[in-house]
Amino acid sequence: MRDVVDRLKAEVAALHAELPRNNLVVWTAGNVSARVPGADLLVIKPSGVSYDDLTPESMVVCDLFGTLVEGTRSPSSDTAAHAYVYRHMPEVGGVVHTHSDYATAWAARREPIPCVLTMIGDEFGGDIPVGPFALIGDDSIGRGIVETLRTSRSRAVLMANHGPFTIGSDARDAVKAAVMVEDVARTVHLARQLGEPVPIPQDDIDRLFDRYQNVYGQGSAQ
């Protein structure tokens, strides 16, 4: 177990660097977490620490109620939300939260991002939904994430007036979803400056999603 936790600390620390690299966060906002396989634990960054100062050793380990079990710093202020997702969605291995500009702008309008691009169909399987408004400090945000994503194929939710949260099979998968949701949020915003984007029919969305999820890429055998 020690080796697994140490590996995840290194992985989560490295993945945090992808957030500023992809212009998804400013200052110390945003966070990446990973579930520890075989244990009711998660790895997440400490609260309020500069991205430049994040190292594997600075990562903290919490239980699935957000209680610190390893580390010397306070966990991210969003830890309760991450922990709630892990408790109620056992298939999730990674959670990411950002305040990326375009996705957060859609969240501020409390408007789903419509499935008008093949990339949205591929990655999210339909519209990217809006979750309820919730205050930081307890697991209210986590409840909103779970309630919204349980009725959607999307791996991203725009929490109202807050910003995007994404989930994945592992932390890297969740970071990819965070990058993708910002990309499509920007593109759909640009399309709307030219006119009303045309939705993709549901049958085509289903085919896109199935191909991308089950056929695209090199496959597990390569």
Which of 134, 107, 141, 108 is CA-nearest to residue 31?
141
**DSSP 8-state symbol, 63:** E
Q: What are the pLDDT digits (tens) for 93-107?
A: 999 999 999 999 999
| Strand 163-168 versus strand 68-70 pairing type | unpaired
Burial of 168 by CB count in 10 Å (0-12 exposed, 13-18 middle, 19+ buried)? buried
Q: What is the pLDDT of residue 219?
A: 62
Mean pLDDT on 156-172: 98
- Residue 67 in 3-state DSSP? coil
Percent of the chain exceeding pLDDT 70 equals: 97
Q: What are the pLDDT digits (tens) for 39-96?
A: 999 999 999 999 999 999 999 999 999 999 999 999 999 999 999 999 999 999 999 9
Q: Measured between alpha carbons, how far is 109 from 201 in angstroms, rounded to an integer?
A: 24
- The answer, yes or no, to whether residue 220 has pLDDT greater than 60, is no
Q: What is the pLDDT of residue 106?
A: 98
Q: What is the pLDDT of residue 164?
A: 98
Q: Measured between alpha carbons, how far is 82 from 43 in angstroms, rounded to an integer?
A: 10
Per the CB < 8 A criterion, the answer to whether 104 and 163 are in contact is yes
Q: Measured between alpha carbons, how far is 222 from 220 in angstroms, rounded to an integer?
A: 6
What's the whole-number average pLDDT of the chain? 96
Q: Residue 122 — very low, low, confident or very high, per pLDDT cuts 50/70/90?
A: very high
